[in-house]
Structure 1
Amino acid sequence: MSDALSPMARPRLYEQVLERVRAYAAEAGLRTGDRLPAERELAQRLGVSRASVKQAIVVLEVQGLVETRHGGGTYLVRDTLDATEPVERLVDRRRRLPDVLDAREALETKLAELAAMRRTEDDLRALESALELMASELADGGAGVEGDRRFHAAVTAAAHSALLAEFMDAMADQITESRTESLRQPGRPPRSLEQHIAIAEAIRDCNPATASAAMRQHLRTVAEVRLLSWDPEDT
């Protein structure tokens, strides 16, 4: 049977709400730091449930376009609510992220353990250089993405395991997604830097158990992202 006459996909209600909120922000000329109307007001004006509005706001949060402050409303963190990532791509990322995080924990805790056993002075210099770069990025108002990437690459190199390095390389795109997702969480970059420093110290001290535990704690923090609290199928 031809696919041309297969059932047409209907946009979820929260996706329709999302487009209306984007349009409102543009028409109202909202910019960075401006506050969106409260969820209750948006629901009343749009004639939808607060659950649908909440879902739309979560999507904007996940896309890094707004910040919701506990008890203080939702504020733009950019001058527009236009997104470069379609909702369906977010849905796909939401589905695969748990597997990526599981794989990262399994591989990178072992890499940290091996790094503490095998690191060289050159490896330590690479770790320190990555930490300095991340600190510099944070001081300049960035999220420390490149410093974070270099740090984890330096840990992988310090483990001196060609096969584990191949596994990490095969996951590079998915790891980049999880890194970006984590570092866009409010307050996350400084916390990530602190955890990197703890990992580096354990590797420097040749303490495999501590290095592995510090990496596990870090990766479980990485897993604390808004995206995973979102159920795309709701409303």
Structure 2
Amino acid sequence: MTDALRPVAAKPRLYEQVLDSLRSYVAEGGLGAGDRLPPERDLAARLGVSRASVKQAIVVLEVQGLVEARHGGGTYLVRDTLDVEPVEQLVERRRRLPDVLDAREALETKLAELAAERRTDEDLVAIRSALARMATEIEDGAHGVEGDRLFHAAVTGAAHSGILAEFMRSIADQIAESRNESLRQPGRPPRSHAQHLAILEAIEARQPKKAAAAMRRHVRTVAKVRLLDWDPEPDNE
């Protein structure tokens, strides 16, 4: 029997200690994707902390796509480990994500509009290829991250705007963060693919306003992530 779930000493952000204990528990117990964690009440008793601290730790794991909390059915591992991103990094990403999403909406909406006006047949081939790549990744059980990246790059290329493309390159790392955050939301990859298809259809039909509206809807969906609803400093801990 592992002793990873032993009482922990109090300190600020007690849930971070709970996260450490859960990571050790999963590793020492040989648990993997699909396995269920003990109920929150049991975890709280074994760790000597409040259920609020356990619940906050579970929320952090959900935010990072490491567990799935099923309503009334317990909490299950999504991966074979609980390699949790440091909370401070999570907090920092949460702080900058809204600005990144604002920039994406402004830039990519205009790029989609220009793409519908200026695209070539070669541009359409590149966009379709990216969509096919994303579909294959999703079918294989992945999130479609590379296909998503290629799609947005192809739309940017189809706009034939050097300045806007440079702006996109300047925030490429932040865009990648927002992409990864969005695509690990439950059910998001197929929804994202469907939205991409709507953007392609408008670009192919040379309908700038429709392309811009479809891209705006897509980026606003990207903005709907659990991270932005998370409170890193809960009052009840």
TM-score normalised by the chain length of structure 2: 0.90
Shift of 1:11: 4.2
Shift of 1:196: 0.3
Establish whether residue 219 from structure 1 lines up as the match of residue 186 from structure 2. Answer: no
Q: Following superposition, which runs of at least 4 residues in structure 1 exceed 4 angstroms of deviation?
A: none
In 2, Cα distance between equivalents of 1:103 and 1:22: 36
Partner of 1:36: 37
Output the amino acid matched with 1:158. Answer: A
Establish whether residue 59 from structure 1 lines up as the match of residue 63 from structure 2. Answer: no
Partner of 2:164: 164
Partner of 2:17: 16
Output the amino acid matched with 1:56. Answer: A
Unaligned stretches of 5+ residues in structure 2: 1-10
In 2, Cα distance between equivalents of 1:222 and 1:55: 24
Establish whether residue 182 from structure 1 lines up as the match of residue 182 from structure 2. Answer: yes
Deviation per CA, 1:49-107: give whole Å up to 9, x if none: 32221211121122222112222221111112133x32211111111111111111111
Establish whether residue 95 from structure 1 lines up as the match of residue 98 from structure 2. Answer: no
Query: How many residue pairs align between the two structures?
Result: 225
Partner of 2:6: none
Partner of 1:70: 71
The 3-state SS of whatever aligns with 1:231 is coil
In 2, Cα distance between equivalents of 1:23 and 1:147: 34
In 1, Cα distance between equivalents of 2:212 and 2:72: 38
Shift of 1:12: 1.1
In 1, Cα distance between equivalents of 2:71 and 2:155: 36
Deviates more, 1:68-77 or 1:174-183: 68-77
The 3-state SS of whatever aligns with 2:75 is strand
Aligned-pair identity in percent equals 76
**What root-mean-square deviation, in Å, do the aligned CA atoms of Structure 1 and Structure 2 show?**
1.4
TM-score normalised by the chain length of structure 1: 0.91
Output the amino acid matched with 2:44. Answer: A
Establish whether residue 230 from structure 1 lines up as the match of residue 230 from structure 2. Answer: yes
In 2, Cα distance between equivalents of 1:137 and 1:61: 22
